[in-house]
Structure 1
Amino acid sequence: MSTPQVSRRNFLRTAGLGSAGLFLGLYLPDAAVAMVMSEEEAVAADVYTELTAWILIKPSGQITLVSHRAEMGQGVYHSIAQIIAEELEVDLASVDIQFAQGNEKKYGSQLTGGSSTIRGAYKNLLKLSASARQVLIMAAAAKWSVPVTECYAASGHVIHKPSDKKFHYGELVVDASKLQAPKDVALKPRSAYKLIGKPLHRKDTPLKTNGQAIFGIDKRIPGMVFAAVERNPRLRGKIKSFDDTEARKVPGVTNVIKIAMGVYDMDREGVAVIATSTWAALQGKKALKIEWDDSGFEHVNTPEIYRKQREVLKTEEGRLLKTQGDPNGIINRSKDILDVVYETPYQSHATMEPLNCIGHHRGDTVEIWGPVQAPNWIQDYISKKMGIAFDKVIVNMTFLGGGFGRKALMDYPHEALVISKAIGLPVQVIWAREDDITQGPFRPGISYRCQGVIENNEVSAVKFRTAGQNNDHFRSGDNGKANRSTSEGWLKPYFETIKNISFADVLFQTPVPTMFWRSVYASTNGFAYESFVNELAHKAGKDPLAFRRQYLKEERAAKLIDKIEEVSGWRNKGKTKGFGIAITECFGTTVAQVVKVSKKKGEKLKIDQVWAVVDCGWYVNPDIIHAQIEGAIVMGLGAATIHEITFKDGLVEQRNFYDYKMPRLTDIPPIEIHIMENDSDAGGIGEPGLPPFAPALTEAIFDLTGKRIRKLPFDMASI
């Protein structure tokens, strides 16, 4: 293959690593082929090279990996390095990691969401690393004038087996850069892995415990000032007037200006207080006196939202997403229909690191630094919103203190740039917790009407309709189609055994801004659909786990059921009460959970144990999987039993953790996690552990008490 070329300017801008070395990447026209070049060749060339990933091996032997996705706790910062180190045959400690700037041409999508990073990149990363290893072996063999077959790589060295001579990789980079990387390199079988599949300590943990990790809120640049913004508490409201007299008296406050922040295709008006410190900006913000104009649009109330959702579910068929067989015909002629409605609440993302961003508007170029999940989306939005060339919008990623989908929105980077443009200085905007909780966007609250028919103790038909806000409508408008995520969370093998199924989305809109939330629609769909499966099982007079075995006959699903039955002791529980089961699938991963509950007289209902079995196919690090599933269960527990966002007269009623409470350590039950072993393609991990928890919990409560819960959240103390 001919060596693609890269200009000196673009190479240095994207590399930024200084000393010469071996430069490796995946060339887009053929992602199976590695590209190697020396830095001299890269600098001498004059055509831009598009790479999906790259590594630099320095003469010292130090290996630098550029990570194109954000690290927000889910573990990709470490996992990508663990993949590279495996096939490259280097010690993980020798791999340095840097975050890439936003560059869709170079890296493809950089959206960190949908549990997509490892499952979307691992095959190419393995190929790249194996090709790099092989070209280094080729270079060493040539230096020794020996057959390549007599050489092997280990611990960052190439070793000649007969003589035991060795070169470290840094000694080979100049020679390797003159070779063409092989197109086809055999990858290791999983049985030969030394690093992948092992519970290795994460590379970012020391950084996060010793203070070296730079989160967005830690970032500083020369000449930076600080800002806090009082925004209209209703998305579509305007500023009628404001008095900044007292705000300007706060020591450190230097300016107060009216601004408008873009939220999707709308603008949210506010007043920004600029100061020499975050504290001064926040104090100045508290001293503002603002009169809002909130006329001309609906001021929503939570009870009314759900009343309207129930009404449309009674009267409208909705937009059909998927259907097979004749569910309507069977349901319409049946005299015994299971017809129930489930309700799920609005939720805040409530990330531990509040929203923040540094923006610097330099005229024809803008630059941001901060905790962002979607650099490419930000570049596109800012380019169009502010009339700046796409490649002049520079996005620098930092560590994120949680994201859950909220930090994929473009509003807070846009706001920082609006303020920077107005004052002519770089500025860091930090949101208070009250801003975060009250402003949204939120996970949409959704109601589900689920209908089913049991005939001869078998499922004849199921019909699902949802009524809730479609996130895509905020992003790109109503396209007249059903919400594409209406069936998310429902297991695909059901379509093979239940012959009459339909999913439809009933259009429902409010002024409340909504956004992706961990596991997206599966977090609410999973509660409704799996709770309904449990109800169908009881109507058929069957054990809920055995019922699923009957309808989930696909091999991987069957093995998953066998495993959850084994580890939870389900088959031996006999007539013991308080066990619940749920199984959901999203982002390529299936998770089964069993929850056991008990209640002693005079005491609160207790969750005794949660068992989770995960089938994510090929995986990197079991410890990261355990951490993500545990975290998802805790988050699912909070969303099911503790917190929700409610509205009164169009205003959010919650403000901080005193009234939007989180689960405490004493609320967390023992959690036991098992990973299925197979060679299927990698699935996601950050999100799939959340959806099955709520339906498993509510089924366990029904098993114990006979009380059926169809509305979230519910108070455990009231059971």
Structure 2
Amino acid sequence: MKPQDISRRHFLRQATLSGAVLTLAAYLPASGRALPEIVNPVTNGIAPGTELLSWISIDNAGQVTLLCSRSEMGQGTFQALPQMLAEELEVALEDVHIAFAPANPEKYGPQPQEGSFSVRGWAPRLLRTGACAREMLIAAAATEWNVQRSECYAENGAVINKVSQKKLTYGALVQKAAKLQPPTEITLKKRVEYKIIGKAAPRKDIPLKTNGSAIFGLDKKLPGMKYAVIERSKRFRDTVKSFDDSETRKVPGVSHVLKVKRLVFSQYCEGVAVVADSLWAAMQGRKVLKVFWNDPDFEAPSTASLEKQMREHLQIIGNQPKFENEYEHCAQKLEAVYETPYQSHSCMEPLNCIADFRGDSIEIWGPIQEANWIQADLSQRFNIPIERVVVHMTFLGGGFGRKAFPDYPYEAALISKGIQAPVQVVWTREDDMTAGPFRPGAFFTLKGGLNAEGRIHAFQAKNATQWIGQEWSPIPPGPPEAAGYNNGDFEGLLPPYRQGIPHYSFGGAGIHSPIPVMWWRSVSASTNGFACESFIDELAHLAGKDPLAFRRAHLPDRRYQALIDRMAELTSWHSRGQNSGWGVAFTECFTGICGHAVKLMRNAKGKVMIEKVIGLIDCGWYVNPDIIRAQVEGSIVMALGAATTHATTFEEGKAVQQNFDTYPMPRISDIPPIEIHIMENDEKPGGVGEPGLPPFAPALANAIFDLTGRRIRRLPFSLDEV
């Protein structure tokens, strides 16, 4: 059965038809003593209020079904989760079926997909749940044969008697196993015993995505469904004064034209929706729609004004006297300013959502990255009980944080309510790239002081940016806000630097703008990492030290020492030539540590080109090396674009870049050879999908300095102009 063919309703119906099933659900707590609870939906139903993270079902035919409460946007959830289950359950990977679970925090627990959380958040629960089911099936077989539990073992979906070699399949045992109490002690496999985890395996979603049968948001259709596109002002926070739809209503198929709004943090953004029987008709109707806008009552921002504000705000962050005193007494001192731009998410699949509002219920289908939040948001805004708001996830054509936001499902639900019919709202590429929210730009000032031995004695990083957190509330009156020193981890900077540097300070100032901003792959690490790791490299050269050796001297933790040693081995670092075009950088976010090394060369025309990129990630305990390599490769490509080919700029309160002609993505011919390597250790599972991005830009900038002697402190830049 294809993953998208298995709905919860179908799953329960099949369970009823096939007799008893063993259904396990893992409790939310992740402690080692947290045990799964056994429930039987056929005879007992689901206990109300029980908080469950996942459903795993084995029917009397031996079929295993995992209802996945996490979204799949290319990061490999549909492969990694079944691998974890199959390992401890002792079934073949191809015998585990997976389907999306609808939003339901009481049954499935939190369902967001951000922070690289799928494996690092699910691993303990899925492993214990699989092991619990295995032990219950073994106990059922031992009872059937009237032998000791120790005389039996599980393998490939069956329990085998060690002495007699008799075999009973899971399907034959499931009825008895479902009546047993879960074991009080569960022993998980050791890593050396794994047969499935840690091994490459073909992804279950790849055949669906290559043969066209995978259901993405735009593929989903409902009977009687309408289509809608929305005319939005390109200037942020414009409101609708009036509109003339006389020509729009002449377009065949157009049925409704209505004013709509969507909440973006604390501000409502207005527009006019054109609804039709087909997407083409809706788009043609929008072309002839005339909307008259009320201009916002504040100065329209531009990139120049935003940058001016960030430079000014860097000056309002007060100095820390103790740090300044230590810095002034350093043997060598260095200061630098780094600048990063606003960026669009620009997922390959633009935003879209289907909503069916029925008065006392709402049903949603689409590329949803954060099902729980959207369910709760719709319940609150429409005053409908949360259990009557059903959110179905489809595959996502990219997410990067944007599709976790509740604005576009709310917009779709509002239109469905207005027309009293199911509707699919589709954003064009221009809608997607001009409306935001965006990754905020950021400016940094950095100070570093070295002692007589060439070690960092004092290190300071200040940044000015639009704080994502302050977007939740209206702009407060009064002077600009500034953060106190060392009030956060300065995401992206390796934590052990705080052990290896005697005096450090971090501070920030938040600028205000009507431009909406939000998280973007790796969040603040994508900007902080560029500034800090580039500056660490600058300090290494100021000290006259090798960049890798300099980092090793300031990172006392053995885990980071091992990472640096492995990078030196992969790059043949110690035998490289002088000014050979090598650059390295290391960052950390969402408990994943990643290093990139970039090797540059000059072509026959003297142009700088990337010869190769070596990525090295330490994500601790991991499931599928192929997925890790794919995620880090994708992160490098995305980081390459953000560093060298695209940025979002603003003029008169509007985003300038509206499509890929002015926001160019790296082409396949731009992608250098990439090698990805994975550290082997026994650390806890860490993130992968986001940690792979931040170190690329500083590694590339550091390589440019090594080859040319030029420091890159502002993104994006053109390699052709280096």
Shared fold, TM over 0.5: yes
Task: Give, in whole Å, the separation in 2 of the partners of 1:471 and 1:393.
Answer: 28
In structure 1, what is the equivalent of residue 571 of structure 2? 568
Cα deviation for residue 533 of structure 1 reads 0.3
Task: Give, in whole Å, the separation in 1 of the partners of 2:13 and 2:474.
Answer: 40
In structure 2, what is the equivalent of residue 36 of structure 1? 38
Task: Give, in whole Å, the separation in 1 of the partners of 2:552 and 2:48.
Answer: 57
In structure 1, what is the equivalent of residue 647 of structure 2? 644
Q: Which of 496, 500, 513 is matched with 1:493 structurally?
A: 496
Task: Give, in whole Å, the separation in 1 of the partners of 2:70 and 2:473.
Answer: 24
* 8 A Cα contact 1:32 1:183, kept in partner: no
The worse-fitting range, judged by mean Cα deviation, of 218-227 and 46-55 is 46-55
Cα deviation for residue 32 of structure 1 reads 2.6
Cα deviation for residue 383 of structure 1 reads 2.4
In structure 1, what is the equivalent of residue 598 of structure 2? 595
Cα deviation for residue 180 of structure 1 reads 0.6
1:672 is the counterpart of 2:675: yes
In structure 1, what is the equivalent of residue 619 of structure 2? 616
* 8 A Cα contact 1:67 1:98, kept in partner: yes
SS across alignment from 1:172: helix
In structure 1, what is the equivalent of residue 374 of structure 2? 378
Matches within 5 A, 1:464-475: 464-475=461-472
Task: Give, in whole Å, the separation in 1 of the partners of 2:330 and 2:685.
Answer: 42
Task: Give, in whole Å, the separation in 1 of the partners of 2:353 and 2:9.
Answer: 26
Cα deviation for residue 37 of structure 1 reads 3.7
Q: Which of 705, 713, 716 is matched with 1:702 structurally?
A: 705
Q: Please give the TM-score of this superposition, normalised by the length of structure 2.
A: 0.94
* 8 A Cα contact 2:355 2:413, kept in partner: yes
SS across alignment from 1:669: coil
Matches within 5 A, 1:190-339: 190-317=191-318, 326-332=322-328, 337-339=333-335
One-letter amino acid of the counterpart of residue 675, structure 1 = I
In structure 2, what is the equivalent of residue 659 of structure 1? 662
CA shift digits 1:199-220 (9 cap, x unpaired): 1010111111122211111111
Q: 1:477 to 1:267 in 2, by over 3 A?
A: closer
In structure 1, what is the equivalent of residue 4 of structure 2? none
Task: Give, in whole Å, the separation in 2 of the partners of 1:47 and 1:637.
Answer: 49
Cα deviation for residue 314 of structure 1 reads 2.7
In structure 1, what is the equivalent of residue 456 of structure 2? 459
CA shift digits 1:519-575 (9 cap, x unpaired): 111011100010010011111111111100111121110000000000011111032
The worse-fitting range, judged by mean Cα deviation, of 30-39 and 423-432 is 30-39
Cα deviation for residue 702 of structure 1 reads 0.6
* 8 A Cα contact 2:375 2:391, kept in partner: yes
Cα deviation for residue 361 of structure 1 reads 1.2
One-letter amino acid of the counterpart of residue 199, structure 2 = K
Cα deviation for residue 235 of structure 1 reads 2.8
How many residue pairs end up in the alignment? Answer: 703
One-letter amino acid of the counterpart of residue 193, structure 2 = A
CA shift digits 1:606-662 (9 cap, x unpaired): 000111111100000000000000000000000000000000001111111111100
Q: Which of 376, 400, 403 is matched with 1:404 structurally?
A: 400
Q: Which of 564, 583, 588 is matched with 1:585 structurally?
A: 588
SS across alignment from 2:519: coil
1:449 is the counterpart of 2:451: no
* 8 A Cα contact 1:486 1:504, kept in partner: no
Cα deviation for residue 464 of structure 1 reads 0.8
CA shift digits 1:667-713 (9 cap, x unpaired): 11111111111111000111111000000000100111111110000
Task: Give, in whole Å, the separation in 1 of the partners of 2:692 and 2:474.
Answer: 30
* 8 A Cα contact 1:450 1:462, kept in partner: yes
In structure 1, what is the equivalent of residue 519 of structure 2? 516
SS across alignment from 2:185: coil
Task: Give, in whole Å, the separation in 1 of the partners of 2:58 and 2:338.
Answer: 55
Task: Give, in whole Å, the separation in 2 of the partners of 1:404 and 1:219.
Answer: 22
1:150 is the counterpart of 2:151: yes
Cα deviation for residue 46 of structure 1 reads 6.2
Q: Which of 708, 711, 715 is matched with 2:714 structurally?
A: 711
In structure 1, what is the equivalent of residue 693 of structure 2? 690
Query: Taking every aligned residue pair, what percent have the same amino acid on both sides?
Result: 50
In structure 1, what is the equivalent of residue 106 of structure 2? 105
* 8 A Cα contact 2:60 2:174, kept in partner: yes
* 8 A Cα contact 1:466 1:486, kept in partner: no
In structure 1, what is the equivalent of residue 5 of structure 2? none
Q: Please give the TM-score of this superposition, normalised by the length of structure 1.
A: 0.95
CA shift digits 1:27-62 (9 cap, x unpaired): 34786312224344323x764533121211011111
One-letter amino acid of the counterpart of residue 454, structure 1 = L
One-letter amino acid of the counterpart of residue 712, structure 1 = L
Matches within 5 A, 1:408-419: 408-419=404-415
Matches within 5 A, 1:130-209: 130-209=131-210
Task: Give, in whole Å, the separation in 1 of the partners of 2:604 and 2:517.
Answer: 42
The worse-fitting range, judged by mean Cα deviation, of 82-91 and 507-516 is 507-516
SS across alignment from 1:470: coil
In structure 2, what is the equivalent of residue 129 of structure 1? 130
* 8 A Cα contact 1:326 1:501, kept in partner: no
* 8 A Cα contact 1:298 1:511, kept in partner: no
* 8 A Cα contact 2:497 2:555, kept in partner: yes
CA shift digits 1:495-537 (9 cap, x unpaired): 1110101111112111110111111110111000100100111
Q: Which of 341, 346, 352 is matched with 1:345 structurally?
A: 341
Q: Which of 530, 533, 537 is matched with 2:536 structurally?
A: 533
Task: Give, in whole Å, the separation in 2 of the partners of 1:98 and 1:475.
Answer: 34
SS across alignment from 1:187: coil
The worse-fitting range, judged by mean Cα deviation, of 420-429 and 230-239 is 230-239
SS across alignment from 1:418: helix
* 8 A Cα contact 1:37 1:178, kept in partner: no
Task: Give, in whole Å, the separation in 2 of the partners of 1:48 and 1:313.
Answer: 49
One-letter amino acid of the counterpart of residue 110, structure 1 = Q
In structure 2, what is the equivalent of residue 24 of structure 1? 24
Cα deviation for residue 16 of structure 1 reads 5.9
1:549 is the counterpart of 2:545: no
One-letter amino acid of the counterpart of residue 26, structure 1 = A
* 8 A Cα contact 2:331 2:449, kept in partner: no
Cα deviation for residue 453 of structure 1 reads 1.0
Task: Give, in whole Å, the separation in 2 of the partners of 1:269 and 1:17.
Answer: 45
Cα deviation for residue 316 of structure 1 reads 2.8
Cα deviation for residue 14 of structure 1 reads 9.1
Q: 1:335 to 1:572 in 2, by over 3 A?
A: closer
Task: Give, in whole Å, the separation in 1 of the partners of 2:244 and 2:605.
Answer: 55
Task: Give, in whole Å, the separation in 1 of the partners of 2:42 and 2:304.
Answer: 67
Task: Give, in whole Å, the separation in 1 of the partners of 2:500 and 2:688.
Answer: 27
Q: 1:600 to 1:46 in 2, by over 3 A?
A: closer
One-letter amino acid of the counterpart of residue 388, structure 2 = K
One-letter amino acid of the counterpart of residue 508, structure 2 = D
Task: Give, in whole Å, the separation in 2 of the partners of 1:452 and 1:28.
Answer: 44
Task: Give, in whole Å, the separation in 2 of the partners of 1:107 and 1:447.
Answer: 41
Q: 1:151 to 1:702 in 2, by over 3 A?
A: same
* 8 A Cα contact 1:437 1:654, kept in partner: yes
In structure 2, what is the equivalent of residue 117 of structure 1? 118
Task: Give, in whole Å, the separation in 2 of the partners of 1:152 and 1:481.
Answer: 61
Task: Give, in whole Å, the separation in 1 of the partners of 2:101 and 2:386.
Answer: 17
Task: Give, in whole Å, the separation in 1 of the partners of 2:212 and 2:688.
Answer: 27
Task: Give, in whole Å, the separation in 2 of the partners of 1:192 and 1:718.
Answer: 53
* 8 A Cα contact 2:498 2:504, kept in partner: yes
Unaligned runs of 5+ in 1: 1-10
CA shift digits 1:295-341 (9 cap, x unpaired): 302211102211221122134339xxxx9x93232235568531111
